[in-house]
């Protein structure tokens, strides 16, 4: 298993980063939150999880070991593959997921694309004894919901856009974010923001 990759960030995309390790570019699938911590040309160290399939080897990257561990634990639930586990971490922090499971918060799980009411109920049952108790202090409100602008802005800056361009793109997708039911999906907003920036160029 590849436990982590450490090297220079060679490229960034809306859902992945390329980290140069010993002259080899390692493509790593990441959430918008993880991508927002990376900068092209800067050193980075990502905890990783290698998912092996018959036709592919996919490396998923995380800001720390805790996020990686939660990613792997989520996949022990039936019907949860790496993409859905990553989507859950794109919407919620590891502690927010632990808190949702501990308190039986269906709405928090339904906010994740691909999870419906029945799926959320099933996941709450299966994950209750697997994720453990929240590590940090309880969040005041929903940090992910209120912080989507900061996450999106940081991700755009990380992709190499100027502050002014990032500001304009965030403003452009704000109506879409406010119209969304539940938690705004930063990944979807990032794609929409990139489309507006491409049109502007």
How does pLDDT run across 13-43, given as a tens digit for each residue? Answer: 888 999 999 999 999 999 888 998 899 999 9
Please report whether residue 97 resides in a domain: yes
Q: Which of 62, 85, 101 is the last residue of a domain?
A: 62
pLDDT value at position 44? 95
Cα radius of gyration rounded to whole Å, the chain: 17
Domains identified in the chain, total number: 3
- The CATH number for 12's domain is 2.40.50.140
Q: Which residues contact 164 (CB under 8 A, 6 or more apart)?
A: none
pLDDT value at position 40? 93
pLDDT above 90 for 2: no
Q: Any idea what DSSP says for residue 55?
A: T
Distance CA 71, CA 69 (A): 5
55 half-sphere exposure, CB direction, 13 A CA radius: 0
Packing angle between helix 82-91 and helix 186-200, nearest 10 degrees?
A: 80
pLDDT above 80 for 185: no
43-53 vs 56-62, strand pairing mode: antiparallel
pLDDT value at position 190? 83
Are 10 and 44 contacting, i.e. CB atoms less than 8 angstroms apart? no
What residues does 43 pair with on adjacent strands? 8
Domain that holds residue 148: 143-200
- State how far the alpha carbon of 92 is from the alpha carbons of 82, 142, 183, in Å: 15, 9, 9
152 with 192, same domain: the answer is yes
70 with 43, same domain: the answer is no
- The CATH number for 147's domain is 1.10.8
Q: How many CB atoms lie within 10 A of CB 13?
A: 14
**Of 191, 200, 112, residue with least CA distance to 155:** 191
pLDDT above 60 for 55: yes
83 with 94, same domain: the answer is yes
Angle at 65 between CA 61 and CA 68, to 5 degrees: 50
pLDDT above 60 for 141: no
Distance CA 70, CA 58 (A): 17
pLDDT in tens, 92-103: 889 889 999 989
pLDDT above 70 for 146: no
pLDDT value at position 154? 76
């Amino acid at each position: 298993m590849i436990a982590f990759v450490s090297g220079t960030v060679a490229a960034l995309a809306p859902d992945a980063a390329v980290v140069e390790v010993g002259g080899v570019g390692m493509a790593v699938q990441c959430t918008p939150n993880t991508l927002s911590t990376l900068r092209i040309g800067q050193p980075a160290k990502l905890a990783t999880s290698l998912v092996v399939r018959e036709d592919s080897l996919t490396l998923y990257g995380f800001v720390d070991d805790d996020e990686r561990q939660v990613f792997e634990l989520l996949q022990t639930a039936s019907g949860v593959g790496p993409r859905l586990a990553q989507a859950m971490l794109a919407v919620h922090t590891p502690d927010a997921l632990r808190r949702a499971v501990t308190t039986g918060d269906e709405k928090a799980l339904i906010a994740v694309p691909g999870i419906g009411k029945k799926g959320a109920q099933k996941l709450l049952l299966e994950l209750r004894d697997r994720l453990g108790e929240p590590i940090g202090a309880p969040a005041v409100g929903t940090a992910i919901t209120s912080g989507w602008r900061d996450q999106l802005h940081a991700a755009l800056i990380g992709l190499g856009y100027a502050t002014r361009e990032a500001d304009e793109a965030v403003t452009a997708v704000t109506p879409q974010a406010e119209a969304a039911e539940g938690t705004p999906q930063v990944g979807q907003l990032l794609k929409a923001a990139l489309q507006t920036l491409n049109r502007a160029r």
